[in-house]
Amino acid sequence: MLKTTGATFLAIATSFFILLFYPPPKSYYHSLFISSSLSDNASISHHLRTLTRRPHVAGSQANAEAASYVLSTLSACNIKAHIVSYDVLLTYPYSRSLTLTPSPSEPPITFDLKQEIYEGDPYADVADEVLPTNHAYAKSGSVVGPVVYVNYGRVEDYGTLKEMGVNVTGTVVLARYGEIYRGDIVMNAFEAGAIGALVYTDRKDYGGGGGDAKWFPDDKWMPPSGIQVGTVYNGSGDPTTPGWASSEGCERVSIEEVESSGDVPLIPSMPISGADGETILRLIGGQIAKDNWQGSIDAPTYRVGPGPGVVNLEYNGKQVIATIQNVMGVIEGVEEPDRFVILGNHRDAWTFGAVDPNSGTAALLEVAQRLQKLQRSGWKPRRTIILCNWDAEEYGLTGSTEWVEENRDLLASRAVAYLNVDCAVSGAGFHASGTPQLDDLLKQAAQQVQDPDNSSQTIYEQWIQSTESSLIGRLGGAGSDYAAFLQHIGVPAADMRFGAEYPVYHSMYDDYTWMEKFGDPMFHRNVAVASVWGLVALRLADEEFLPFNYHSYALELQKRAEDLENEISDKGITFSPLFKSIEELSKAARKINNQKKEIKEAKGWTSMRRNDHVKVRELNDRLMMAERAFTDRDGLLRRPWYKHLIYAPSRHNDYGSTSFPGIDDAIENAKNLNTAESWHVVQHEVWRVARAVKHASLVLDGKLT
């Protein structure tokens, strides 16, 4: 017995000695992180059910309670967690009404603007806590006018109407969701001369196509009474503190200055259901709309108007300075605590938010719980990991923007990358977007995680089979919280999810029941998102050399520049400065990759060891800071908050992802004006981007000229 006890003690002591002096490589912990022994779909399901039991719009008590839940969960994982609060301008509906008069001799039709509770709805008892349907930051007012159907409300749709001889001035437009950001739908309507805008969810896009299609709760599709709400603000952050944080007692601009900024609509707008949209469409006359403007198979024939139906749209909102709460968790790095790998997701929802955003919140908490298990096993990160749960994203990326603006200089000098998950799961199929130097890392992480819908293959294998266009998207749109990090201060960023657009988006039907029945019945996709997300973060936090490859960046820029050159080849614009800068970036990328290889190979030589740390740190700093060089202090023309000259939203579509947004905007303007001066602006924008790309190559090269 004594011999056995002694042998056991010796084995334990030996294991302790080995772990103390010969700890496992970081790759061991990375493999452990994605193993089934650490993942927990039941825990994710529990988090999601808890977070979505009540509607929790920003500024509400329910959302404050959700913040407390996230805080307590992070703290239970032995993660240092705290809340960062800001006082920001939010809007809520006070009163609203909508009537339609078919003709002067007929009585008006009054719409109730309500989303219907279905039989057996488990959330019926809290349905009255859902905000009345509205557009955040919509213009208050009352307008009366004939209706014009404008398809998706894009600039090109108004061009089609002009060709048809349809005058939009003085009308209320009816647009359907589906192609561009709702704020741009309203802004485009104003610029076309409309006095109001109604935006509806067409059955063709969200209702299963009509016919025999069923809808939630029997199928995934939006019910006829479903209404997609959301913001129509075209800026980022608190509108009263443009460019600085909304801290207590801070300077604020007036509401009048907010309205004159161009970021909030100047005409009233309202979201309505597919059923109400169809009712209005039946009472619009005039020319028949084009085939690709028509609806589902059993929809009425869509005509463009104007009238004869006349709508009376009334909306009054209340503006409130409300407190929002970001929840922050920090795992401090051991060797480089002043280098930050940041993971973020927002918490606030327009209604219950099972997909958007709390599938991502549940995944964030799953990552936190797995990191705690790694720490118990002996893992310590090389660099600091920061877990962020943002507030008021739905209003205008507000929580993340305020935090970035408050910590701008520190983040600009220390942030390695920002990894975003908003809607973690809305269905099958993995999708990722990011800045190009992260392409290889995203692919490699997907190659290590099992496909949740087919255990015989990896996520990467599913990904490449299901993607017809570019495998990895870009982050030019301002659709989520990566915007402030990438587009304002130039931090490398990525965003990932399972599933694409989903029918009940921003409606009261985005609840736990929808997720459990249609989004992810076994919560295995949620587990997979957490695995990829956390694995990418671990490699960024732990690897001695940052896993960035700027050669991918140069290839991407070359392709996009060639596309633009071909688009305006007959306008006398030269792209040679840009191509020259891209070639310099490509050379600098190859050079730094070779330097990384040389340092790795030299690490076996005793004479090199003393200088290893300094050399690695200096090389990593160049990799980290090169993205910052793509920013310009003046920002984009008429949109100075957006500093990044490679990735930012299109001027007429906040969701639109484009490369070289300044050049794109200038080309669009020049095509409309077709003057020598407007084309000169295009050439100037080409030069601006060329200078930024050259600056990035100089940073990578690491030597003064």
Q: How far apart are CA 452 and CA 449, in angstroms?
A: 9
Q: How far apart are CA 453 and CA 428, in angstroms?
A: 8
CA dist 433 to 337, 682, 693, Å?
Answer: 27, 28, 21
Q: Which two tokens stand for residue 587?
A: 């050379």
User: Do β-strands 336-346 and 383-390 pair in parallel, antiparallel, or remain unpaired?
Assistant: parallel
Q: How far apart are CA 196 and CA 658, in angstroms?
A: 29
Give the 3-state secondary structure of 495-535.
EEEECCCCCCCCCCCCCHHHHHHHHCCCCHHHHHHHHHHHH
Q: How far apart are CA 224 and CA 64, in angstroms?
A: 32
As a residue count, the chain comes to: 705
* Catalytic one of 179, 336, 366, 393: 393
Cis peptide upstream of residue 357 (ω within 30 degrees of 0)? yes
3-state helix vs strand vs coil in the chain, percent to 5: 45, 20, 40
**CA dihedral sign, ordered 398, 403, 404, 409:** positive
DSSP string, 574-614: --HHHHHHHHHHHHHHHHHHHHHHHHHHHTTSHHHHHHHHH
**DSSP H helical ranges for 332-466:** 358-376, 393-396, 398-406, 408-414, 439-448, 459-466
Q: How far apart are CA 350 and CA 208, in angstroms?
A: 23
The number of helix segments (H) and strand segments (E) in the chain equals: 23, 16
Q: How far apart are CA 556 and CA 629, in angstroms?
A: 17
- Cβ atoms of 145 and 195 closer than 8 Å: yes
Q: Which amino acid is at 362?
A: A
Q: How far apart are CA 654 and CA 354, in angstroms?
A: 24
CB-based contacts of 188, cutoff 8 Å, min separation 6: 153, 154, 155, 158, 180, 652
- Cβ atoms of 619 and 599 closer than 8 Å: yes
488 secondary structure, DSSP code: I
Q: How far apart are CA 518 and CA 216, in angstroms?
A: 10
393 given a catalytic annotation: yes
Q: How far apart are CA 697 and CA 695, in angstroms?
A: 5
Containing 384, the helix (H) or strand (E) segment is strand 383-390
- Cβ atoms of 345 and 390 closer than 8 Å: yes
CA dist 63 to 168, 353, 365, Å?
Answer: 41, 11, 16
Give the 3-state secondary structure of 67-123.
HHHHHHHHHHCCCEEEEEEEEEEEEEEEEEEEEEECCCCCCCEECCCCCCCCCCCCC
Q: How far apart are CA 254 and CA 240, in angstroms?
A: 7
Supply the residues annotated as catalytic: 393
